[in-house]
A = this chain, B = another copy of it.
Amino acid sequence: MNRSVTGPQGFLAAGYASGVKVSGKPDLGLLVCPTGATAAAVFTTNKIVSAAVQINREHMARRKTYAVVVNSGNANACTGKLGLANARKMCATTARYLGVEPDEVLVASTGIIGHQLPMDRVTQGIADAASLLSGLQTGGLAFARAIMTTDTKLKQAYRELDLARARVRLAGTVKGAGMIGPNLATTLLFITTDAAISKPLLGRALKEAIGDSLNRLTVDGHQSTNDTAILLASGLAGNARITGPSTSYRRFVKALVDLCTDLVRQMALDAEGATRMFKVIIKGAATKADATRAARAIADYPLFKCAVHGGDPNWGRIICAVGSSGADLNPDRLSCKLDDLYVFRHGAPTNFDPKEASRIVSQQEHTITVNLGVGRCEDFYYGCDLSAEYVRINADYHT
């Protein structure tokens, strides 16, 4: 069974090594919907954005999108007018091979900032990739491989659901291993679905899904200039077209959240140097914003991330991060659980079994639940450990 981005009906994909990466690894991907897809997209909120993000904001105005062209190895960011012209040229070249308009193509780039794209290689690469387009799993896998940078594992996820007797498929692939703050970070995410759904509802579904998945993951707390999530819907599944917030819409969003959360877990575990991931749940907060702030403070706290790396149930660092987050809390009612084990309750450490606590923290994934003891709001965050390997990767990566 094809669980790649060519799994949903109506999609072709390809990947090719064009030579943008000096390593000779695949660096150019094409994802195509020959019948024209309804598209939704979310971009970085960084105030410095790549050429691709600027171009896509224009191109999203079109009713139909036929393709996405992606290069890895060069971010085409901080590259001025020439960078913008090059991003436009990537769309125009792709459009020419497919017989569509340039603004019916979206573009994404990831890699180093501040260098111009070697356009001769990119243009030739698009031609070569176009000749390799395939609706089989091989095409989807080649595309997923072409978007990787420091990722050590290919990441994809697949979901199916029945909407009024029509089988609807969703598939996604994502790249992102470092520079992962909430609001996407250095993430390129591409999702395909054969659901029939209107453009406004598709946009809303993508925002909802990302809000509960990618926007709740932090690796190093920053977002890049290039972060892009694109969702293409071919509409070929035969379901009654979703045009309002119906039960079908809710079920579609649920499957989409589930798919994105699957990808988030893969990203956290493949984060640069990461060996473990965790989920932080904040309960009993006065406001949702306080819950978010406290959850993120823990997930981003280098000392806590180091403790997780060492398998140390260091509740002191959790309490310290919560206290310094600015979130309202009641020191006498504060509690903290590692999975189901209370390590802190009523403002003081419990008599917990340190071996059991170490076992929990040493798992590939564990959950930290903190109750602030002042209200009823909650939120969560995903994070990963901080290892010496993270430093090595990022100190040795030279510009």
> What is the distance, in angstroms, from A336's C-beta to the closest C-beta of chain B?
10
Interface bracket on A: 35 or more
A181 to B325, CA, bound (A): 12
- By beta carbon, the residue of chain B nearest A399 is B314
Taking the complex as formed, is A331 at the interface, i.e. its CB lies under 8 A from any CB of chain B? yes
CB atoms of A316 and B47 under 8 A apart: no
What is the minimal beta-carbon distance from A300 to any residue of chain B, in angstroms?
A: 8
What mask results when residues 285 to 329 of chain A are scored 1 for a CB within 8 Å of chain B, else 0? 000000000000100111100110110111110011111100111
Taking the complex as formed, is A355 at the interface, i.e. its CB lies under 8 A from any CB of chain B?
no
Q: Is the CB of A316 within 8 A of B113?
A: yes
Q: Of A30-38, A118-126, A220-228, which stretch is located at the interface?
A: A220-228
Alpha-carbon distance A313/B398, docked complex (angstroms): 8
A363 at the B interface (CB under 8 A):
no
Q: In residues 40-56 of chain A, which contact B (Cβ within 8 Å)?
A: 44-49
Q: A302-B221, A303-B220, A397-B312 are in contact. Are A80 and B323 (CB under 8 A)?
A: no
Chain B residues, Cβ within 8 Å of A344? 78, 114
- The interface bits of chain A over 98-116 (1 if a CB of B lies within 8 angstroms of the residue's CB, else 0) are 0000000000000011100
Q: Is the CB of A303 within 8 A of B48?
A: no
Give every chain B residue within 8 A of A309 (Cβ-Cβ): 391, 395
On whether the beta carbons of A347 and B78 are closer than 8 Å, the reply is yes
For A324, list chain B residues within 8 Å (CB): 44-47, 181, 222-224
**CB contact under 8 A between A310 and B113, given known A320-B224, A322-B48:** no
Which residues does A use to contact B, with CB under 8 Å? 44-49, 75, 77-80, 112-114, 178-179, 181, 220-225, 297, 300-303, 306-307, 309-310, 312-316, 319-324, 327-329, 331, 334, 344, 347-349, 386-399
* Extra inter-chain contacts (5) besides given A77-B316, A306-B393, A307-B395, CB under 8 Å: A48-B334, A225-B323, A307-B394, A312-B399, A388-B388
